[in-house]
Amino acid sequence: MKNYAVKYLAMTLLLVGASIAELFAQEQEVIDLDLVYANRPELKTSAIRRILNKFSWTFTAGYEATMYEAGLQGLEIGLYGNDLVLYGGLAEDQKNHIIYKDWLSNPQSVTVPDAPQSFEGDPGSVQGTAGGPVFNGSLAYHYKKFRVGVGLGYSSQKVKDLKFENSIGVESVNFGQTPSFSLFRYYFLAGYEFFDYGGFHYVVEANLGGASYSGFDSDSFENSGVIEFALPIEREFSEYFRVVLRPAYQIKDASYSNQGSPTISPKLNAFNVTLGINIRIPEIPRCKTYRCNTQVKHRHGDKAYRGQPVFYPQNPKMGQIPKGAHGWKWRTGKPIHAPVKRKP
C-alpha cells in the first residue's frame, strides 16, 4: 500500500509539474510571422513624383470686365470739331489754345487757334466698361488645406460704353482713340480651402503681383500692379483632377501722360469669371500589367501602382465599372476594367 501511495503522489506531482511547465512553455511559444511569410520587399516610390504630387497646376479661361474710371479734375472738357477733347488753358502767346486729343489712351497735346466748344457744368469723371477674354495659369504647393504658388495671367480688353459722372449733354461724340488694351500679369498666390462638401471644395484665394500693359501709348506709363481676390469652387473628380469655376475681383490702376499732357489716372478694377482644370501629377504610376484589373492603389513586387486614369476616382470595389468607362483606353492601351482575355 505504501508503495502505491508514493507512486500515486509521484504521478500527481509529475502531471501537475508538466502542466505548469507546459503553461509556461506555451506563453513563450510565440509564432514569429516573419518565419512563416516571405518578407515583402521594401516599397520603392519615386522621390520626384512624391514631390511633384505636392503641387497642383491650374489652367482657366473666361471673361473679364474692367470698370474704367478716370477723374478729370482740374481739366475742362469740350468739343473741338467732332472730337471730345480736354483742355487746360491758353498757350503762352494767349491766342492759341492747348487741347488734348486721344486722351483715353494716348493723350496728345495740340495747339489750336480756336477755343473748344465747352460744356456747362463739371463732367466729373469718365466711366466705362471694357471687356474681353482672360486666361490664367498657376502652380501651387499644397500643405493640408493651404496653398501658395505663382501664376501668370493675360487679358485683352476693349472699352465699350463710356459716360460721364455728371450729365453734360453729350449725345454723339468721338472720344478719339478708344482704348483697347491688354494686360499681362505675374503673381504670387495664397489660398485656403475653407469648406468641403459633396465633392466640392470652396477656396478663398488672394493674388498679388505686377502687371505689364499694352495699348496705352505713353512716355510715362505707370501701374499699381494687381491685387486679386478669388473664390474658386473646385469639383473633385479624382484625387488628381478637379474642375474649377473661379470668380474673381481685381483692384488695379494706372497713370499716364504723353507729350506734356496732363496725367490721366484711371482705375481699372475688374471682375472676371473663369472655368478650367486643376491637375496633380500622381505620386505613383498607373499599373501597366495587362491582366491586372485592380482599381485601388496596389503593389506588384516593390513598386506601387494605381489602377485608374488621372481623371477617375479610385474605386474601392474592384470590378465595378464606373459609368461610361467601357472601352476607355489610356496610355497602357488596355481598356480599364476589361475582362481578362487569355492570349492564344
Q: List residues bridging with 241 in a β-sheet.
A: 238, 279
Stretch binding Zn ion (CB under 5 A), from 184-192, 242-250, 285-293, 325-333: 285-293
**Contact mark string toward Zn ion, 205..224, x via CB under 5 A:** --------------------
| 292 makes contact with Zn ion (CB under 5 A) | yes
Stretch binding Zn ion (CB under 5 A), from 3-11, 99-107, 181-189, 283-291: 283-291
CB nearer Zn ion, residue 7 or residue 44? 44
CB nearer Zn ion, residue 238 or residue 294? 294
Kindly state the smallest distance separating residue 291's Cβ from Zn ion, in Å: 9
CA separation for the pair 296, 308 (Å, rounded): 8
Kindly state the smallest distance separating residue 307's Cβ from Zn ion, in Å: 6
CB nearer Zn ion, residue 270 or residue 336? 336
CB nearer Zn ion, residue 157 or residue 295? 295
| 289 makes contact with Zn ion (CB under 5 A) | yes
Tell me the number of residues near Zn ion by CB under 5 A.
4
What lies within 8 Å, CB to CB, of 339 at 6+ separation is none
Kindly state the smallest distance separating residue 46's Cβ from Zn ion, in Å: 17
Binding residue for Zn ion, selected from 99, 287, 295, 336, defined by CB under 5 A: 287
Kindly state the smallest distance separating residue 52's Cβ from Zn ion, in Å: 22
Position closest to Zn ion via CB: 292
Stretch binding Zn ion (CB under 5 A), from 93-101, 245-253, 271-279, 287-295: 287-295
CB nearer Zn ion, residue 204 or residue 292? 292
Kindly state the smallest distance separating residue 209's Cβ from Zn ion, in Å: 44
Kindly state the smallest distance separating residue 248's Cβ from Zn ion, in Å: 42
Where do contacts with Zn ion occur on this chain (CB under 5 A)?
Answer: 287, 289, 292, 294
